[in-house]
Structure 1
Amino acid sequence: MKHFLQQGFSLIEVMVVVAIIGLLASIAVPGYQDYVRSGNAAEAPANLANCRVQAEQFYQDNFTYVGFACNPTDARFFDYTIDNQTATSYTLIATGRAAQNMGNFSFTVNQDNAKTSTYDGTTGATCWLTSASGSC
């Protein structure tokens, strides 16, 4: 009786390894994507807070908000606009760029520091959400 030495892996062994890797990837990839979006979403509150300080400085210098512009130089994931701009009021808006996979995100703040947000589809009526769980 001859004994043959086994070299390499059988097809079944390779298929089991591929199945395990696929299962692990199906769990890890969505978590990683959420982590990346969370990091990208931090841009908007930081820039809106900075723009709000600039708006108040503009008001102190000019006694009006008319003419103030919010143009963050590091805007990569959001577009920034000003709505309802009058002599005594404004609303700063950061809208996520769909091309950057941030289309479900938006943040606002007004002259009274009233904040609202939509964080990946979850709405925060009185704050800037920092996670999809709805916590501020």
Structure 2
Amino acid sequence: MNKRLRNGFTLIEVMVTVAIVGILLAVAIPAYGDYVVRGRLSEAFTALGGAQPAAEQYWSNNRTYVGFGPINGLPANTAYFNYALSGASASTYTLTATGVGKMTGFVYTIDQNGTHATTGSPPGWGVNAACWVDHKGGACTN
């Protein structure tokens, strides 16, 4: 009896493997993209959270928020967010982080009362007047 050994894989086995890898990638790549976006959002949260005490310190020294800027603690613009002060008066202000580049559409604010708000976001993320949205669907963890 002459037995032939067959080495290698059949075409069916290779196609099944390719299909499984394709399905896994179809799920993993979008999930990873959302993970990267959430990581970049933390930049805005940290900057705004750090700027608020600086604004309060500025007010305690000057009794007004007018004139608060980069020298006093307003965050510098970065590759993903631009920061601005608006509505500055003797008793009110709003700090805004506006997404740029790959973060376009995200707009986060904090005011003199410490109220966090998401006033703009890309489709699917949602807005919220009481928190900073950090997950698709409008979920907030802060």
With normalisation by structure 2, the TM-score equals 0.81
Structure 2 alignment gaps of length 5 or more: none
CA contact (8 A) 2:48 2:95 kept: yes
Q: In 2, Cα distance between the equivalents of 1:68 and 1:74?
A: 15
More deviation, 85-94/53-62: 85-94
Displacement after TM superposition at 1:74 (Å): 8.7
Distance in structure 1 (CA, Å) of the matches to 2:60 and 2:29? 48
Structure 1: distance between partners of 2:132 and 2:34: 17
Q: Label 1:74 to 1:92 Cα distance change in 2 as closer, same or farther (>3 A).
A: closer
Structure 2 residue matching 1:9: 3-state secondary structure: coil
Following the alignment from structure 1 to structure 2, what is the Cα–Cα distance between the partners of residues 116 and 16?
48
Q: Could you say if the C-alpha distance between residues 119 and 42 of structure 1 is closer, same or farther in structure 2, counting changes exceeding 3 Å?
A: farther
1:52, 1:111 within 8 Å by CA — same for their partners in 2? yes
- Whichever residue aligns with residue 38 of structure 2, its letter is S
The match for 1:96 among 96, 99, 104 is 99
Between the aligned residues of both structures, percent identity stands at 40
| Structure with larger RCO (C-alpha < 8 A, sep 6+) | 1
Distance 1:127 1:75 in 2: 22
Are the equivalent residues in 2 in contact too, given 1:115–1:126 (CA < 8 A)? yes
Correspondence 1:8-27 to 2 at 5 A = 8-27=8-27
Q: Which of these residues, 64, 74, 84, is aligned with residue 81 of structure 1?
A: 84
**How many angstroms does 1:24 deviate by?**
0.6
Residue correspondences, number = 134
Any idea what the Cα deviations from partners look like across 1:54-104, whole Å, max 9, x if unmatched? 01101111111111114436944221111122232211001112x2x2223
Distance 1:14 1:104 in 2: 42
Does 2:111 correspond to 1:110? yes
TM-score (normalizing by structure 1) = 0.84
Quote the Cα distance in structure 2 between the aligned partners of 1:74 and 1:89: 22
Q: Distance in 2 between matches of 1:48 and 1:32?
A: 25
Unmatched 5+ residue regions in structure 1? none
Pick one of 128, 132, 135 that aligns with 2:136.
Answer: 132
| Correspondence for 2:42 | 42
Of residues 17-26 and 121-130 in structure 1, the stretch that sits farther from structure 2 once superposed is 121-130
Matched AA of 1:86? S
Whether the 8 Å CA contact 1:96–1:105 is kept in 2: the answer is yes
